């Protein structure tokens, strides 16, 4: 099986060759835990879950290591903690916010049918590794101390006469242009406008740790160095795949590459850089001010998680996705059909017609088209393929029962009306039988008559 992946760095689809087929390694930037995750945040989680499942299918479950971090040190977390728990010491309030939000995040993404990553490191548990990377960068001449900050110098990196990558290569930006375009009101402790923070002093009461490089004041890490440290600790200096949303290419991933390659004297940090496109809602950018900001949690109140999952995978991961009510309704219908047909079938091997498009840079829309093609001719391959993609976690009865519950329809009442209608039909009282059918339809119940009797389901 040949897997091909689009690599943001080389701007082309390349055959995926792992550094070690017994230990395939992937890192994906995870959430900053300060609030409910929105449906845009769900996109990288679902997309890279599909890749994780595909890699496990190819290389074996025990041979794939997936690391997705939790960022639990950040200004947004501090602000939220001070606002929600004004009576508590800030550090305690922060712990409450990160624990609560982390739990919520897990509940959300579990419901979306995503496997837990192999490791979910927390930034605050990797401060030692961050300090070590920072010390190495200073020793190598890539970073410097100024007013209790440590700053990384992209210009020092690009001046180094070595096999390091060029700063700007991932995001295809030239450092000269960045220098020319830099704003004038640059922080006074920076030598150059393009320098970015590796470490900074903490304000009184904020979380703080002993600083590197002999800085006396306690401080805290910058965001970019957190991911370099966690990836290093769990995946080593050089690994296979690094992923996240397209907005992270610059500056976050550009800076991660710079830090890791300069600290470890490597040409590369990851061999394949993968980025998902952005999600918008009903053709508009999602934002709190537009009032179209939807959390995963809110959507899960109206839709089973697998409907959200399918809706996400109908679009190729690199394309922008327009999240609409109409598309959600269609996804729900498709899943109803699959559940009815395949949820209780013995799952066979996933179909080649489904695997092949996935091997071509995760072409999930084509894989879904192939699933539709299987429904009439190979239900066991349909069941096996759906399971590989993270669907059919429930039985057909559970799925139907949940729909009934969500719709508020009382199953006993429906059965009673159907019995009445059957009686009316047998005495040829079609006026009454039609009246009951209309009554059921008004309740949102669709009925189907066959030789075996009358069956019913919730019409979406």
Q: Is 43 in the site for ligand AMP (CB under 6 A)?
A: yes
| Residue 155 backbone phi and psi in degrees, to 5 | -70, -35
Q: Give the nearest distance from C-beta 30 to ligand AMP in angstroms.
A: 7
Please tell me whether residue 44 binds ligand AMP under the rule CB under 6 A: yes
Q: What angle do CA 134, 139, 141 make, to 5 degrees?
A: 95
3-class DSSP assignment, residue 159: helix
- Helix ranges (DSSP H) in 60-89: 75-84
Q: Which of 5, 7, 9, 32 binds ligand AMP (CB under 6 A)?
A: 32
CA pair distance 442, 247, nearest whole angstrom: 46
Q: Which does 40 bind (CB under 5 to 8 A by kind): Zn ion, ligand AMP, none?
A: ligand AMP
Decide which of ligand AMP, Zn ion, none touches 227; Cβ closer than 5 to 8 Å per partner kind: Zn ion
C-beta atoms surrounding 284 within 10 Å? 12
| Of the candidate residues 29, 150, 230, 374, the single one contacting ligand AMP (CB under 6 A) | 29
Angle at 418 between CA 417 and CA 421, to 5 degrees: 85
Nearer to ligand AMP, 163 or 287 (CB): 287
Q: Torsions phi, psi of 27, nearest 5?
A: -120, 130
Part in contact with ligand AMP (CB under 6 A); list of ranges 26-34, 56-64, 196-204, 256-264: 26-34
Rg of the chain taking only CA atoms, in angstroms: 26
Report residue 408: phi and psi, to 5°: 75, 10
Minimum Å gap between C-beta 80 and Zn ion is 20
Comparing CB distances to ligand AMP, the nearer of 222 and 244 is: 244
Nearer to ligand AMP, 31 or 168 (CB): 31
DSSP bridge partners of 201: 219
Nearer to Zn ion by Cβ, of 31 and 384: the residue is 31
- Minimal distance, residue 245 CB to Zn ion, in Å: 10
Residue pair 159/258 in contact (Cβ under 8 Å)? The answer is no
CB of 41 or CB of 255, closer to ligand AMP: 41
Task: Indicate the SS3 state at residue 152.
Answer: strand
Nearest distance, CB of residue 246 and ligand AMP, angstroms: 7
44 binds, among Zn ion, ligand AMP, none (CB under 5 to 8 A by kind): ligand AMP
Phi, psi of 5 (to 5 degrees): -130, 145
- Smallest distance, Zn ion to C-beta of residue 28, A: 8
Classify 182 as helix, strand or coil.
coil
Cβ(36)–Cβ(104) under 8 Å? yes
Residues 265-294 vs ligand AMP: string with x where CB under 6 A? -----------x-xx------x--------
Length of the chain: 460
Partner whose footprint covers residue 245, from ligand AMP, Zn ion, none (CB < 5 to 8 Å by kind)? ligand AMP
Is the CB of 43 or the CB of 53 nearer to ligand AMP? Answer: 43
The DSSP annotation for 109-132 comes to: HHHTTPPPPSB--BGGG-HHHHHH
Among the residue ranges 39-47, 205-213, 329-337, 368-376, the one whose residues contact ligand AMP (CB under 6 A):
39-47
Does 315 contact ligand AMP by CB under 6 A? no
Q: What angle do CA 193, 196, 199 make, to 5 degrees?
A: 140
Q: Beta strand 143-146 with 64-68: parallel, antiparallel or unpaired?
A: unpaired
CA dist 71 and 32 (Å) reads 5
**219-221 and 196-201 strand pairing:** antiparallel
Q: How many helices (H) and strands (E) does the chain have?
A: 17, 14
Q: How far is the CB of 29 from Zn ion (least distance, A)?
A: 3
Binding part of the chain for ligand AMP, among 28-36, 149-157, 232-240, 348-356 by CB under 6 A, reads 28-36
Supply the minimum distance, in Å, between the C-beta of residue 230 and Zn ion: 8
Please identify, using beta-carbon distances, which residue of 46 and 370 lies nearer to ligand AMP: 46
- Which pair of structure tokens corresponds to residue 310? 């399918």
Among positions 211-250, residues that touch ligand AMP (CB under 6 A) are 244-245, 247-248
- Helix ranges (DSSP H) in 165-303: 175-181, 223-235, 254-264, 296-302
Contact residues toward Zn ion (CB under 5 A) are 29, 227
Instruction: Pick the binder of ligand AMP from 8, 18, 27, 31 (CB under 6 A).
Output: 31
Q: In this structure, what are the phi and psi dihedrals at residue 86, rounded to the nearest 5 degrees?
A: -60, -25
Among the listed ranges 36-44, 99-107, 121-129, 336-344, the one in contact with ligand AMP (CB under 6 A) is: 36-44
Closest to Zn ion by CB, 120 vs 394, is: 120
Give the interface segment with ligand AMP, choosing from 35-43, 301-309, 360-368, 372-380 (CB under 6 A): 35-43
Rounded to a whole number of angstroms, the minimum distance from the CB of residue 30 to Zn ion is: 8
Binding site for ligand AMP (CB under 6 A): 29, 31-32, 40-41, 43-44, 244-245, 247-248, 276, 278-279, 286
């Amino acid at each position: 099986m040949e897997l091909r992946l689009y690599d943001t760095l080389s701007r082309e689809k390349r055959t995926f060759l792992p550094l070690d087929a017994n230990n395939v390694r992937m890192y994906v930037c995870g959430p900053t835990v300060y609030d409910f995750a929105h449906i845009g945040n769900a996109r990288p989680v679902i997309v890279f879950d599909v890749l994780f499942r595909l890699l496990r299918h190819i290389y074996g479950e025990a041979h794939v290591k997936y690391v997705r971090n939790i960022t639990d040190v950040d200004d947004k977390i501090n602000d939220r903690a001070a606002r929600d728990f004004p009576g508590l010491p800030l550090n305690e309030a922060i712990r409450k916010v990160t624990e609560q939000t982390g739990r919520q995040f897990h509940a959300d993404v579990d419901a979306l049918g995503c496997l837990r990553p192999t490791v979910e490191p927390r930034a605050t548990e990797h401060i030692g590794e961050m300090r070590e990377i920072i010390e190495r960068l200073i020793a190598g001449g890539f970073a410097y101390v100024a007013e209790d900050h440590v700053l990384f110098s992209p210009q020092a990196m690009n001046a180094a006469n070595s096999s390091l990558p060029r700063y700007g290569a991932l995001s295809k930006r030239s450092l000269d242009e960045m220098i020319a375009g830099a704003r004038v009101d640059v922080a006074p402790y920076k030598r150059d406008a393009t320098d970015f923070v590796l470490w900074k002093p903490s304000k009184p009461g904020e979380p703080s740790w002993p600083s590197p490089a002999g800085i006396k004041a306690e401080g805290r890490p910058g965001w970019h160095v957190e991911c370099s440290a966690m990836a290093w600790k769990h995946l080593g200096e050089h690994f296979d795949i690094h992923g996240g949303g397209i907005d992270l290419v610059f500056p976050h991933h550009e800076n991660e590459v710079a830090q890791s390659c300069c600290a470890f004297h490597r040409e590369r940090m990851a061999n394949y850089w993968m980025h998902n496109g952005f999600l918008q809602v009903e053709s508009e950018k999602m934002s709190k001010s537009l009032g179209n900001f939807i959390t995963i949690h809110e959507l899960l109140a109206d839709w089973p998680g697998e409907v959200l999952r399918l809706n996400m995978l109908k679009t190729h991961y690199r394309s922008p996705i327009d999240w609409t009510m109409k598309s959600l309704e269609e996804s729900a219908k498709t899943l109803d059909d699959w559940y009815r047909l395949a949820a209780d079938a013995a799952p066979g091997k996933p179909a080649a017609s489904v695997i092949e498009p996935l091997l071509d840079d995760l072409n999930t829309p084509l894989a879904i088209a192939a699933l539709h093609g299987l429904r009439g001719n190979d239900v066991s391959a349909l069941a096996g393929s759906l399971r590989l993609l993270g669907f059919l976690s429930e039985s057909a009865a559970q799925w139907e029962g949940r729909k009934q519950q969500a719709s508020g329809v009382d199953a006993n009442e429906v059965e009673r009306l159907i019995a009445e209608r059957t009686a009316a039909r047998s005495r040829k009282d079609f006026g009454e039988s039609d009246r009951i059918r209309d009554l059921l339809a008004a309740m949102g119940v669709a009925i189907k008559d066959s030789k075996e009797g009358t069956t019913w389901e919730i019409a979406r």
